[in-house]
Structures are given as structure tokens and as C-alpha cells.
Structure 1
């Protein structure tokens, strides 16, 4: 063997990087991207806990209008997620990621100081738009800096950050609202975002931009306006009248705008909606299941804190503790589902949907009445519902990834989140419509809503039972 211990490379030689040097940027990207995912998904759960307090702070604003605090975030997120990922490729993933972090901090501050409901709703739209840039840019940073053999572990860590946020969200949100008021759930984002910017500042240094054109901004606008106007028709339909010109105009106008967005996406080189991915029938089916399940899941997650506050008169901290039951169950079942063999995934998805259907059906019965029944009613329903969510979301995310080639993984995950958020916006609108139909009968309103959630969950189970062919990653 040749002795190489004294051999020195030339100054300009392209010596291979050491493992430590290779791992350092990958670990940094994973750290800040996971932190951003934690912050954005935490914001979803803490706002649900804070929602009853928000409604009390704005007594002059109709409850149907205030549901836009939740659905506005979902609409903006769903509309901008795909073009945000494309813009990150064009302008630089690190630059877009850090700019989105700063935008998320500023829009959170706007929500915190909102003098009226209109300002708060506007802030939530802007915050959802900033989150739409955070997620794909952060995910692209992770995938771009992680060695191929470690991508699976990195994605598991990134996904776990979002799951952990959903788990601790009720407790964190409840404590913040009880001690400092609902505005604190937005203020908390500011120091987190600043810390992530400081930690990830080096990610944009020396970054090479890819020679891509700009995404279809007109298509993105049509997508957002289309989803928003359909949601508005469902939200306000009971108040305006289902045959009123405003309701029909909003619904038909939204459908027309979404049709325009789909038409442009078939022709634009960088479309607002990644319909090219839908050529895989399995992937299209996964997104259909995500859309349908998103509607019932978002409605249930918002209805829970409202029930505990309005019907059982729970304090914020007690409500947060009760909501944690489902969150913990979701985390446990998500971990178990993630470890399950691939052939089991399809039927696990059906099981998750049926568990959720059983939970919501149980909540629509007389077992849930004006008398608090935490251990005999709420805890079993929370375990079933949260456990079903953990299973189904994990299974759908896995199926979305496996039904596409590996190079389309990031786009596929992003589109799957878009489908769930779009369905979620309609689910919140459904909640608003049901409550508007029974303004003086809260028990009837909640029981009706939970029965509808159960029916939608059963439809989810039927869709999930359809065969999905998975495509294993190839080298």
C-alpha cells in the first residue's frame, strides 16, 4: 500500500468534504426548517383554543364572520403553497425562507395588535400567505442539503416537528390565553421567528438561483379568490339565503375562478396548481381523500374548544387540557402508523377514518349534553377522533410520497397539504353555516355539525378503501 499520511493536497485541489462539513449545512437546514414547521402548525392549534376568547372580544362581529380568522389562514395557505415553492426555486430557497420567516413575524404582530375583527382577519390572510412560503422553501432546503441516504430520516424529523406542535398546541395555547390573553398566541411567534432567522442566516449565503421563470401569479390569484368565494358562499349562505343572488354569485363565481385556474395550470410552464402530478391516479385519489377528510377534521378541531367553552363552560386551561387528549392520541397513532408495513397502509387509512367517524357520531348523540362528562364522554371521543387523525394524516402523507417519482416528492407533499387545507377551509365554512342555522339552539347546532362530520368521515373511509398503487423510490 502507498503511504499517504504525509500527502498534502494542492491549494486549489477539490478535496472531498469531510463528513462533519457535509453534515453541518444539512443539520442547520433541518433545524430551522423543522422550527418553522413547528411554528406554523402550532399557530393552527393555538388559534382554535383562542377562538372562544376572540369571539368574546369582538361581540359586535357575527360568529360566521369571525370564522374567517381560521379559514382565511387556510385559504391563503392553500392558494399560495405551489407557486411559493416555485418562487423559492427561482429566487433562492434560503432567501425566500428567511423572508417568509420575517413576514410571518410581522403578520403575527399585526394579528396581535389588531384593533378590530377586520384587521385580525386581514392579518390572518397575510399570515397564511407567509406560512405558504415557509413550508415549501424549508422543505426544499432540507431535501437539497441532505444526502440521499438520509432523506427519510430528515423527513421524519421535519414531519415530527409539525406533529409535536399539534400535540403541545392546546396546552401552550391554553396557558397563553389564560395568563396573557388571546393576543399572546400571535406575539409568541415573533421571538421564535427572530431566533430562526438568526440561526439560519447562513443558509442564503452563496446560494445559486435556478434559471426558472416566475410562477403563474394570475393563476395563484384565481385559485385563492376561487376558494375564498366558495367558502364565503357556504359561510354566509344561511344568513343571506341559499337562493340569494350574493350566495349564488359567490358560489358560481368561485367555481368559475377555480376553473380558470385549472385551465391556466394545464398550459402554464410553472402552474399555480400542480395538476401534472394528477396524472398519477393513485396520487389524485390520495389528494381527494385529503380534501374530503380536511373538511371534517378542521370543523371538528374548531368545534371542540367552542363546545367546551359554550356548552360545558370550561375555563381556557381546562379546555386546553381536554383538547390535549386527542392531540396526544394523534401523536401516538401517527408514530405507530408510520412504522407499519406498506401493504397495511391502505386499510390503516380506512381504520383511521372509521375511528374518526365513530368519534363524531358519538358526539352527535345525547351522551354529549349540557352536563359535563369529561371521562365518560369526552376522553373516549377524543382518543377515537385524535387517534383516527394521526393514522389517516400519516397514511396519506406516506401514500402521496410513494405514488410519485422521488424527484417530485417535495411538490407532491406540498400539493397534498394544499388539498387538506382547501378542504379545511370548506369545513370551517360548514361549521359557520350550521351555527347560523341554529343561533338559539347551541346543542342542536353542535349535534348537527358532529353528525355531518361523521357522514363526511364515512365518505373518507369509502375513498380510502379504493386501491392505491404505490411507487417505491428508485435510485
Structure 2
């Protein structure tokens, strides 16, 4: 079934909307899980590929992060034009095939190349999954279903280490093979259940210059942030990549403002809710990525937990995130979307402050657990209202909006990891004071995110009386 712009009646939704949600949530989980599940397997990969140093092994993570961040917006925009269902199903096929290649990789080079292809598949999956979700449900259900979708994403992010730890105990290759049955099942279900949605036939494709510029800018920016600690922040490759990235992003902005058909339209950011969500997503994920990495490193490097034990120790976080994110609809009906978007980031700072006060080098899991639960609550409350901002855009731009938000999230995550490594002065910290620097980073990021969202709320409140006065004058 092909639909030009909206898959169903906006006041009722698609008759198979809950099946659609199940399919989209499962593939979003699969795609986002691989952003985090591999981290805990890096030491095991190093034992398999003898002679591979940490700088080489880091590219198993960096190749995925760079390709995923750079391809999100082009994939989202092309999905709007050529068909969201087509792109999502093609992305699943690419992701599954690349997962098999990762599992069978005979050497590190093949594994890194397969990870880049896997990321391309993920970039084709994540934006269309939200773009297909909105039209399937009536407007008043968007916060509910985006909460479920974001809850799945929150669980994927925080469940990566626990699941990875359990699978690494068998063999690190299982972290890729586990995608195969899930992907095949989702592909079959998607062929049966998902409707096709695309922009009107008269819509123009984005012009190529801004597409190439954004791809180059994002990929080089993430490269510079990922490699700064390895190559040196003042090294020629890092500085050169950063300068070219800034120039490429400037070209993207100019085209967004002046060209009639850019890849990213400036009109997206004229919606206050969306522009605030994009900025808040970037800032929040600086701290959230640091929170995830810090927790894994602390358990393994300071408390000397093995991969399985560290994974299980982190498990309460994703469980708590799931509970709050799945109930995002109820929370929004009771408190609105703005309050959870403020309280969520604030709780990340509370979690870090609690660990600063209570956690020591002596393993005491009960001292760590409350901070884990608070951090999970933060992830569960924050993501749903921020991702829901895509629904404020026109229906034909929902996928592009979701792609932009995910891009800001990925750039924020890369920046957070790079900043954390720079603050701790080493990629393998083992002293408590090094982790305390990271917790202070989370507190600062939490405060900034709260200010971003709260300032937007004040701006909206201040504009309403003026708008009302203007309306009254026009009526008179």
C-alpha cells in the first residue's frame, strides 16, 4: 500500500498501528543497540586479533559512529522522497548482511569495513522508523508511542553493556550474530505490516552540494573528536579534519538559508520546539555518553569487575529507563512534555553528584545502585519529549526531522566521549579522581541542558501574550 503523505486518518490512525509500532520498535532497538554493545567487547577482540593496538581497535567503534552520524540526514531525506518503508526494509537487509560480515571477519580491517556498512544500514533504519510511526497513530497518541519508541532506544543504549557482557562470555562474535534472527523476523514482518509513505510526487530532491557538504562536515567532525585523544588535538590530521568540517558545515548552513531545495531546510529550525529539542539533544548526550562510558570503565578498571559482572551491574539502569519512557504518554498528560524534558537532564546531574559523594575505590555495589537508578530515570524521562518534537513538523518532514535529532544526538555522544577522555587524560583510567572529573562533567552538562529547555519554555510563555494581543488587534 502506497500513501503519498499520510498513512491513515489523522484522527484514528492506521488499523494495524500497534503491529507497526512493534516492528518499528524492534528494528530501532537492533540498530541502536550496536552503538553501545561493542564497547565491552573491545578487549576480547584485541585477544583475537593479535598485534592490534588500542588505536586500531578503537576504529571498530569510530567507523560505526562516523558513518552513522554522517548518513542519518541524507538517508532520512531520501527516505521521505523515495519511500520510508523501502528505505527501512533496505536498511534492515544491509544491517543484517553487515552483521554477518562482522561476525565472520578474519582480520581487523574487514571488521572495521563491515562496521561502517552496518552503520549505513542503521542510518537507513532509525529515521524512517519514526517517520512511519507518526502517521500510524492519531496526534493525541504521539507522546505515548514516541515514549515507547524512545524507551526502546533508552534500553538499547543502556542495555548494550549488560547484553554485550553476557555474549562476550561465549564469544565476541555473538554480539553481531544476535542481530540476524531479529533482523530477518523484522524484515518479514515489515513486508507484511508496514505501509509505504513518501513525499508528494512533485517534491524536489535535495540538491547535491549541501548533501555532500553535510556528509563531509559531520564525518570529519566526528573523526576529529574520536581521534583527538589518540593522535593529539593539535596534530595535523585532527586540526585539518576539524577545519574542513567547519567549512563544510558552513556551506550546509548557507545552502539551508539560500537554496530552494537544500538537504536540511532552515524552516525546520523555525519551529521553536524542534530547534530546542535539537540543541538539548546535543548537550544532553554529551553527558549521557560520558555517563555510560564512565560506568563501564569504573566497574572494570577500578572495581575490577569482569565483562559479565559489569554488564549485570549496569542492568538496573535500562530497566528503570524502560519503565519511565514507556509511561511517557501518561507523564506528559499529567505534567506536559516540558517538565520531563527539564527533570530528566537534572537527574543525570543528581546521579553524578550522588556518586561523587558516596562512591569510593572499594567495591560497594549498594553505594552505586541508587545513582544507576537515577541515571536510568534520567534517560527514560528525557528522550521521549525531545524526540516527540519531530511531530511538530509537517508530516512529509517527520523522517528528516527525526534524522536531524539523531544526528545531533550522535555528534553530542562523540563530543562527550572525546571531552571525557581529554578530562581524564587517558583512555584507560584506573584512579578514582579521574572518574570524579567525569562526574563533574555530567553535572555541568545537566545544568546546561536544563537551562536550554527552561529558556525555551520562558520564551514560549512570553510570546503567547504578544500573540494573543496581536490576534485581538486583528480581530478589532
TM-score by length of 2: 0.81
Q: 1:231 to 1:82 in 2, by over 3 A?
A: closer
**Residue 285 of structure 2 aligns to a residue in which SS?**
helix
1:281 corresponds in structure 2 to 272
CA contact (8 A) 2:131 2:399 kept: yes
Cα deviations across residues 161-194 of structure 1 (Å, max 9, x unaligned)?
434545654443332121x222211111112111
Residue of structure 2 aligned with 1:182, choices 158, 164, 172:
172
1:419 corresponds in structure 2 to 408
CA contact (8 A) 2:130 2:398 kept: no
Q: CA separation in 2, counterparts of 1:322 and 1:244? A: 38
Residue of structure 2 aligned with 1:457, choices 425, 446, 450:
446
1:382 corresponds in structure 2 to 372
1:348 corresponds in structure 2 to 340
2:187 corresponds in structure 1 to 197
**Where in structure 1 are there 5+ consecutive unaligned residues?**
1-16
2:382 corresponds in structure 1 to 392
Q: CA separation in 2, counterparts of 1:338 and 1:73? A: 32
CA contact (8 A) 2:14 2:135 kept: no
Q: 1:109 to 1:76 in 2, by over 3 A?
A: same
CA RMSD, aligned part only?
Answer: 3.4
Of 73-82 and 57-66, deviating more is: 57-66
1:358 pairs with 2:350: yes
Q: CA separation in 2, counterparts of 1:440 and 1:227? A: 28
Q: CA separation in 2, counterparts of 1:207 and 1:279? A: 25
Cα deviation, residue 421, structure 1: 1.5
- Equivalences for 1:160-239 in 2 at 5 Å? 160-166=151-157, 168-178=159-169, 180-202=170-192, 210-211=200-201, 212-239=203-230
Q: CA separation in 1, counterparts of 2:182 and 2:238? A: 41
Cα deviations across residues 310-351 of structure 1 (Å, max 9, x unaligned)?
222212221111111211222233345542346554343332
CA contact (8 A) 1:365 1:447 kept: no
Q: 1:441 to 1:80 in 2, by over 3 A?
A: same
1:102 corresponds in structure 2 to 93
Cα deviation, residue 374, structure 1: 0.8
Q: 1:384 to 1:147 in 2, by over 3 A?
A: closer
Cα deviations across residues 234-273 of structure 1 (Å, max 9, x unaligned)?
3433444443333322221221122122223334554333
Q: 1:368 to 1:273 in 2, by over 3 A?
A: farther
1:33 pairs with 2:24: yes
CA contact (8 A) 1:295 1:423 kept: yes
Of 95-104 and 330-339, deviating more is: 330-339
2:312 corresponds in structure 1 to 321
CA contact (8 A) 1:71 1:428 kept: no
Cα deviations across residues 11-53 of structure 1 (Å, max 9, x unaligned)?
xxxxxx9xxxx96654553342222112112323422443443
Greater radius of gyration (CA): 1
Cα deviation, residue 379, structure 1: 0.5
Q: 1:82 to 1:416 in 2, by over 3 A?
A: same
Cα deviation, residue 61, structure 1: 4.1
Number of matched residues?
A: 448
Q: 1:66 to 1:444 in 2, by over 3 A?
A: farther
1:367 pairs with 2:359: yes
Q: CA separation in 1, counterparts of 2:128 and 2:234? A: 43
CA contact (8 A) 2:161 2:296 kept: no
Q: 1:373 to 1:140 in 2, by over 3 A?
A: same
